[in-house]
Amino acid sequence: MKKNVKIIVAVIAVVVVVVAVILAVVKRSSGGNLDVVGRESVTSFEKVLNAVPDQVTADEVNGGWSLAAPDGGVRFIWSQDYSSSPLHDVMLELEAKPFLDAGLDTGKLPENYAVYDDMLMVGSKLGNDKLTYEGEPAALAAYEQIVDKYRSSINYHTALDHYGVKLGDGNMFEWAKNMDTNTVTNENQDKDIVFVLNPEPLIAAGVDPEKVEGWAYAQVEVEEDGKTMDVYKFLKPFNLQ
Question: What percent of the chain has pLDDT above 90?
Answer: 70
pLDDT tens for 29-48 read: 333 446 888 999 999 999 99
Residue 181 φ/ψ, nearest 5 degrees: -135, 135
| HSE-CB for 67 with a 13 A CA cutoff | 28
Distance between CA atoms of residues 172 and 131, nearest Å: 23
Nearest to 196 by CA among 43, 103, 76: 76
Q: Residue 34: what pLDDT?
A: 61
Amino acid at 175: W
8 Å CB contact between 105 and 205? yes
Collapse the DSSP code of 195 into the 3-class scheme (helix H, G, I; strand E, B; otherwise coil) and give the result: strand
- DSSP class of residue 106 equals G
Model pTM? 0.84
Predicted confidence band of residue 84 (pLDDT cuts 50, 70, 90): confident
Distance between CA atoms of residues 241 and 236, nearest Å: 16
8 Å CB contact between 76 and 195? yes
Mean pLDDT of 192-217: 98
